[in-house]
């Protein structure tokens, strides 16, 4: 029996659009009656998903599985790296914490990680008509090639047709595509079938001379020019996307949401459904001076809670948050943000670097980080009479309510959130609170003191619409005939 046909999207660098194009490709193949399964051997992201089995994997592959019409499985992303500091990451293997290592030490783990990658791929490929693979970063990094677990080594394992994706919106796309080919070894160069130019605005016919020049120089052709698709409302894979944040300014907005951009921000996928609300303005804050009295101020999740708590104090955010709450402004903390709003965060075992730090003291809770990591899907309910919603927990800490605290959220195993004394500060450990229209409106009504309207569309419906837009764009620019030819290679 031959290999399962496979297409692999690699990029000229991070944030070229590989993840969303892979989701679009999964949806396009699904629409043509093919069982496509996604696979990314190694992902680096603090935006994580929890499977039905309580296993942790990268959000991007869960999104791609959803686009393909299949349930997410940890084999789709067997290795997940979750950065905790500039040179340290937690390593998740097959959904569970393996260890925490510094960047220089990671390459020594390759012998322990590659078998999980190869076995996961084999299990998926045996069930698929087509495999859709995604690389990581760029394959043309000479300093990383010897220890590659994510790009060309995986392409060789799968016998995949490789497409290099470049982002024309960032500039320099032709140099990036040609340079990528130039830096690849001859063996790896032979795996590259062509290019996709992503995020193009304007008349694609104007690119014709440049496309021909690129073909002449690289002996590879551009398989498609995918137009820029605004307002997809798909969660980003990692915080690179926040370095040049898109504008969601809406002058007529009835609800303004400001999110503190923490250095170790995690699972900001929670906020993606808000981007589709026509009466909601969403923005990320780098400076405390940008806090507005009318904002709902959000402290999101964090992969290093104590370090980010110290950041809040050093940059003046802590004082701005307290002042906002004292003036009657709404403050919401999710997971790590919830922990920061409490009295104390302690890390005696060095789970995230060690030490302890006093919190913002806006909620009557205390947190102690523990070695046993909680990863589970939950059915939660806003107290006392709010709506139910489906969500998930990914946390290392145990947050306990102090005497006099007001429970806010109830989950299967007890209280999972707390309200402050004035009722204008909320915190909870459950992610996914904005996915449900009822839960989303519940939070927005609380923050504004009344109804704010809204479309009332579920996050899954919004993502499905985005997958269909991506599939349409790929069918128009690349086409099924080209894809079928690649799959026959």
Enzyme catalytic residues = 335, 431
Residue 291: strand, helix, or coil:
coil
CB 194 within 8 A of CB 211: no
User: CA dist 284 to 115, 148, 271, 299, 483, Å?
Assistant: 40, 34, 11, 10, 38
For residues 234 and 389, what is the distance between their CA atoms, to the nearest angstrom?
20
b (16+ CB within 10 A) / e for 105-141: ebeebeeebbebbeebbeebbeebebbbbbbbbbbbe
Q: Within 10 A of 328 (CB to CB), how many other CB atoms are there? A: 10
Task: Give the residue ranges of DSSP H helices in 430-478.
Answer: 437-448, 459-477
Sorted by sequence, the CB contacts under 8 Å of residue 175 that are 6+ apart come out as none
Task: Give the residue ranges of DSSP H helices in 32-136.
Answer: 59-68, 103-106, 110-125
Sorted by sequence, the CB contacts under 8 Å of residue 144 that are 6+ apart come out as none
Q: Within 10 A of 1 (CB to CB), how many other CB atoms are there? A: 4
Number of H helices, E strands in the chain: 14, 25
CB 201 within 8 A of CB 169: yes
CB 71 within 8 A of CB 119: no
């Amino acid at each position: 029996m031959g290999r399962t046909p496979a297409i692999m999207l690699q990029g000229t660098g991070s944030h070229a659009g590989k993840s969303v194009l892979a989701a679009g490709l999964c949806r396009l193949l699904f629409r043509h009656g093919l069982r496509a399964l996604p696979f990314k051997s190694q992902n680096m992201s603090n935006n994580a998903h929890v499977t039905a089995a309580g296993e942790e994997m990268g959000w991007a592959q869960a999104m791609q599985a959803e686009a393909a019409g299949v349930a997410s499985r940890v084999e789709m992303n067997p290795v997940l790296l979750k950065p905790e500091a500039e040179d340290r990451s937690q390593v998740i293997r097959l959904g569970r914490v393996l260890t925490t290592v510094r960047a220089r030490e990671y390459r020594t783990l390759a012998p322990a990680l590659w078998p999980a990658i190869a076995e996961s791929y084999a299990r998926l490929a045996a069930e698929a008509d087509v495999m859709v693979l995604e690389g990581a970063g760029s394959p043309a990094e000479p300093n990383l090639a010897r220890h590659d677990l994510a790009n060309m080594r995986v392409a060789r394992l799968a016998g995949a047709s490789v497409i290099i994706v470049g982002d024309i919106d960032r500039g320099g796309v032709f140099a990036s595509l040609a340079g990528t080919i130039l830096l690849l070894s001859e063996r790896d160069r032979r795996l590259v079938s062509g290019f996709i130019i992503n995020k193009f605005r304007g008349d694609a016919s104007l690119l014709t001379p440049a496309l021909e020049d690129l073909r002449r120089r690289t002996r590879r052709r551009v398989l498609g020019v995918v137009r820029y698709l605004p307002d997809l409302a798909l969660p980003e894979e990692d915080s690179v996307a926040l370095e040049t944040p898109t504008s969601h300014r809406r002058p007529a907005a009835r609800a303004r949401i400001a999110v503190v951009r923490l250095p170790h921000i995690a699972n900001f996928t929670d906020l993606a459904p808000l981007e589709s609300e026509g009466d909601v303005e969403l923005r990320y804050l780098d400076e405390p001076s940008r806090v507005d009295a009318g904002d709902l101020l959000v402290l999101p999740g964090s992969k290093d809670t104590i370090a980010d708590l110290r950041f809040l104090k050093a940059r003046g955010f802590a004082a701005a948050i307290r002042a906002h709450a004292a003036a009657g402004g709404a403050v919401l903390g999710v997971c790590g943000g919830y922990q920061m709003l409490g009295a104390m965060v302690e890390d005696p075992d060095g789970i995230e670097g060690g030490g302890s730090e006093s919190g913002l003291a806006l909620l009557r809770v205390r947190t102690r980080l523990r070695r046993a990591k909680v990863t589970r899907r939950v059915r939660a309910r806003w107290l006392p009479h709010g709506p139910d919603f489906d969500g998930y927990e990914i946390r290392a800490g145990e947050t306990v309510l102090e005497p006099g605290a007001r429970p806010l959220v109830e989950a299967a195993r007890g209280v999972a959130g707390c309200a402050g004394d004035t009722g204008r500060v909320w915190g909870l450990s459950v992610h996914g609170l904005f996915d449900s229209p009822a839960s989303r409106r519940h939070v927005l009504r609380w923050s504004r003191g009344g109804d704010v309207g809204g479309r009332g569309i579920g996050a899954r419906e919004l993502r499905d619409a985005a997958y269909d837009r991506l599939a349409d764009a790929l069918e128009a620019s690349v086409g099924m005939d080209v894809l079928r030819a690649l799959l026959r290679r």
